[in-house]
Structure 1
Amino acid sequence: MDFSDTMGISASGMRAQAKRLQVAAENLANQETTGTTAGADPYRRKTITFKETLNRTSGVSGVDIKEIGQDQTPFETKYDPSHPAADANGLVKMPNVSAMVEILDTHEAQRSYEANLNTMQITRSMLTRTINLMK
């Protein structure tokens, strides 16, 4: 494995974690988004899964987005007969987004992103030192 392989692995990890942060931010932004008509479904939490990818040229693995799916957890209901999305019983379906889960997910993604960035910086530093030794 050479320096470019290490940089490629870290870059793929950073891209994946950036997308993970984007999904969590979208979920947080929509945690109160209900349907607009009676009985309509609200925003459904998005999920993200990753997959290992192999660079056939170098033989080095990285990470990529496998799928952005939807959490199939049932919606909770809230009694609010004045809401436009309330059903005949006055119940409104609420999004299946937990702010705590999303915040924890953003913290984990941020730490992973930082770890990959740190790896890139160390690799760059090692490469610079190697070039300086060759002078």
Structure 2
Amino acid sequence: MSELFKSLAASASGMKAQSARLRHVSENISNADTPGYRRKLVSFAETVSGGRHTGQVTSGPVSLDQRELARVFDPSHPMADETGHYDGSNVDLVVEIADAREAQRSYEANLKMFDQARQMSSSLLDLLRR
């Protein structure tokens, strides 16, 4: 029975981590046109308890993409320098949409695994009641 609870916990942690990833992807998409905005990256780490791997995952610290910012030419922009350029963002919408789709599919896979484990534990409890 404890293995079923471990799989529920692993699935729940995966869903939580992917929802954090999706939240940062949506922030990146919404700030794609913000001057000076750097893309946020989310890392994942396996949870260790008492020196043992739990099979759960957690989202690590958020880091900023250190790629160079795009130089945009617009002399009428208030942030433009004497050459008429300003720093844009380093968000690539195609990459962000692909990341969002990957996070969504991973979330759905974890949800399916969670539902299967829940159904198995429910069936097991029904058998034990008889």
Measured against the shorter chain, the TM-score band is: over 0.9
Contact map agreement 1:5 1:58 (CA 8 A) in 2: no
Instruction: Please state if 1:91 is matched with 2:92.
Output: no
Tell me the residue number matched to 1:37.
none
Distance 1:26 1:66 in 2: 17
Distance 1:120 1:57 in 2: 25
Distance 2:53 2:66 in 1: 37
Tell me the residue number matched to 1:70.
64
Counterpart code for 1:106: A
Contact map agreement 1:55 1:61 (CA 8 A) in 2: no
Return the offset for 1:56. Answer: 3.2
Q: Which 5+ residue runs of structure 1 have no aligned equivalent?
A: 35-41
Distance 1:55 1:14 in 2: 19
Contact map agreement 1:46 1:68 (CA 8 A) in 2: yes
Q: Give me the identity figure in percent.
A: 39
Cα distance change of structure 1 residues 67 and 57 upon mapping to structure 2, 3 Å threshold: closer
TM-score by length of 1: 0.89
In the alignment of these two chains, the number of paired residues is 128
The match for 1:82 among 76, 79, 85 is: 76
Return the offset for 1:59. Answer: 5.4
The match for 1:126 among 116, 120, 127 is: 120
Return the offset for 1:60. Answer: 2.1
Instruction: Tell me the C-alpha RMSD between the 2 structures.
Output: 1.5
Tell me the residue number matched to 1:51.
45
